[in-house]
Amino acid sequence: MSLLPLKSNLSHSMINNLMLSALILIWGTSFLLINRSLIFFTPEQVAGFRLCIGAIVMVTVLFISGKRLPNLGPAWLHFLVIAVVANLLPFWMIAIGQTTISSGMAGLLMAIMPLVTLVLAHIFLVNERLNRFKLMGFIVGISGVVFILGPTLINVSNSLVGSLLVLAAACCYASGTIFTKRLPVYDPLVASTGTLICAGLVSLLIWPNMLSFSLSDVPFISGFSVALLGVLPTALAMLLYFHIINRAGATFLSNINYVIPVVAYFSGALVLGEVILWHDILALLLIIAGIVLSRRKVTI
């Protein structure tokens, strides 16, 4: 019996897990990069520059791949809506939020996104109705958010407004997910590139002052961090995201929802010295438990 198919399967599985680990690390540490970018740049500049840099990277990849963007028409209107709802607004709100809350807190709060998606899917998508496990998972997950926000009301190190902005960003991501599922199917690379082009152009239109700074005044850590934000979590992560779905499926990819908040929270503690609090850990466990519970299958 040949061992070649077995080795091939192991290699395929290993590559999938390596790509998933890379995506978790990239997205989990993005809050850390935002924190360092905000040392010099405003929230508008952080959001705008990461979108513009991401768009340049994606256009380059699209050109190398030999694919083409669609002609002007409905596709670009779809890309524009996704750009604003799922990119521009959440990037901006997270950056503003992180001016008053820690990077770990921001990553922890973003864990609510898949639970918000459940509720929106029940309202707007066919065959995505809430069942008892989804409802219980949502309640458990929301209780985790309450554990976060409760101490925040009396803890001056994190503001309630900043926390609510990050939660609003999570709702934007969830809304973008639902909107994308209702759209025609586009080539992932083309759709990603078109979306980032729209997001970058809109950011330049609404924040023309984002270019008003002296390059010589930019600290290395802030310039390097905002560049990495554009290249890694904005562009490369999008390519990894679609590549993993094509190779291993959406269910396999959904495992990131359990790990990204953990990476975000503890990378902030490890690199920035942010304080680890017991109620944050409890909140994290409750949110993850809610996600796990919501994914249980209903058996008759």
Domain locations along the chain:
28-294
More confident call, 233 vs 284: 233
d(CA 112, CA 126) in angstroms, rounded, equals 22
Average pLDDT value for residue range 264-274 = 89
Phi first, then psi, for residue 276 (nearest 5°) are: -90, 120
The tally of CA atoms less than 13 A away on the side-chain side of residue 8 is: 4
Q: Looking at the whole model, is its pTM more than 0.85?
A: yes
CA-to-CA dists, residue 51 to 12, 201, 205, 212, 275, angstroms: 32, 9, 13, 17, 30
Which distant-in-sequence residues (6+ apart) come within 8 Å of 80 by Cβ?
198, 202
Closest CA to 149 of 287, 293, 294, 289: 287
How do residues 125-160 score in pLDDT, each as one tens digit?
777 777 777 788 788 878 877 777 776 555 555 688
* pLDDT at site 88: 96
* pLDDT at site 10: 56
Alpha helices in 66-159 (DSSP H): 74-83, 89-97, 103-109, 113-124, 132-152
